[in-house]
Amino acid sequence: MFPALAIPLLAYGLTAFWLSPSYLQITLHNLRYVAEKGNSRSAAVAAVTAVIFALVSYWFTRFRKNRTWALFVVGSLVFFGLDVAGNHFLNFRVIGEPRRLIPELDLVILLAAALLGEWLWLRPGRGLKIAVALVVLVSFASARHYVIHVREYIQPWPDYQSRVEYRVADWLWKNAPHSRTFTSGTVRFWFDTWHDLAEMGGGSEQGLLNPVVYESSWEVVMGSDPELVRLWLQAAGVDVMYTSGPNSDEQYKDIQNHERFAQWPLLWEDAQGDQLRSTQRRFAPLVRVVDTATLNGLPPLRDQLDIEHLRPYVNAIENGPDSPATLDWPSTDAMVVHAKIASGQSLLIQETWDSAWQAWADGQRLPIRKDELNFMVIDPPPGDRTVRLEFTMPFENRVGWGLTGLTIIVLGALAFASRRG
């Protein structure tokens, strides 16, 4: 019983420095973006299966340490099979997207087949051994062509510089390196491969802190109102939007209704119709000096189609005080903002609010609050101000580092004790 409990505890201990409770909470919350919701019937079936498996495995393996591997393989087959096959045939769903675990189920089936073959091989009788050998030979026969012609499958590195993914990123790096871009398709996947560029969202949204990014993207990709799209992108601090042409190398071509953006200023276009267009933000930096009362008095957004309430928000940040500010990133965990602040004005930084961010000006700690789009708002005293923001390590991560260190010590002690024994 103790080893069974020690394995998950030690596994979590080794990952505790980053696998924090808030990370798990965010990931579970964001599963709604990538998977359907589970149902209580499936949860009940999973719980009953787990109890039955625990009882059977205890009876099967007690006092028999040589059955540990068999228990692991059979258990994996039971639960991956229940999750994947159960979802396909019986709509079984507890959490996540079971179809994404098809490769894992495939691997487990192979391990189970190998385990069965081993068990048959060890049975008495020459006939069983011959049958197992034939099955193994037939199984590997499908790989014969690959083994003989392996060099045909190893292609030379493609001319990636001719690909749209590279050309878009390279043009932005050379012409607008500090802009934030709305990307899509494979351009989105490869956007930061060659250069360090900013984009709205990313290739995977499970760790997303700001739901506005995901919720507004649907309108950008699938909507029909170009004005609503422009407002959303300006609100999110996006300078450039990428769209793929009909003959583009980009395979997915996510964005629909390209004609919506025909009137937007064209920054770049290639022969395949790929385009980069400007959203016409007022100032390039992701910081604005805004009227405090106006910002505080904005009505809440009802949904991603609420142009009636979105327009005054964008007006407050794009047509507010004529006081351009600068924003620099000395490191990934620090920002420096310089701005002239008048009485009744605030700083709005178009970066997602997090409780770990802390701000100072002239040695004085400044509170950070979030606005309607979950961006950071600071109220420094009037004057020519330099505000420094730092992302400090959260308390739960400090505790996690302690747990990871303790786990390493425990594992070292166990290894030392086993060698002495």
The pLDDT tens digits of the residues spanning 283-297 come to 999 999 999 999 999
Q: Mean pLDDT, to the nearest integer, of 150-154?
A: 74
The pLDDT tens digits of the residues spanning 159-216 come to 899 999 999 999 999 999 999 999 999 999 999 999 999 999 877 777 788 888 888 8
Confidence (pTM): 0.83
- At residue 1, the pLDDT reads 57
Rg (the chain; Cα; Å): 28
What is the overall mean pLDDT for the chain? 92
The pLDDT tens digits of the residues spanning 66-91 come to 788 898 999 999 999 999 999 999 99
The pLDDT tens digits of the residues spanning 238-282 come to 999 999 988 998 999 999 888 899 999 999 999 999 999 999 999
